[in-house]
Amino acid sequence: VTLLAALARTGGRRGIAALCIGGGEATAIAVERMS
């Protein structure tokens, strides 16, 4: 939600959010605003 809000506020189109889970694991998501 924070990434999407930041993209809307700054007029950005693409963003990546990464999250460290611990124990050597992680996850990430790439988003693109369509309009």
- Say which residues have a Cβ less than 8 Å from residue 6's Cβ, sequence separation at least 6: 12, 15
pTM above 0.95, yes or no: no
- Say which residues have a Cβ less than 8 Å from residue 25's Cβ, sequence separation at least 6: none
Q: Summarize pLDDT for 1-35 with one digit per residue, the tens.
A: 799 999 999 999 999 999 999 999 999 999 999 97
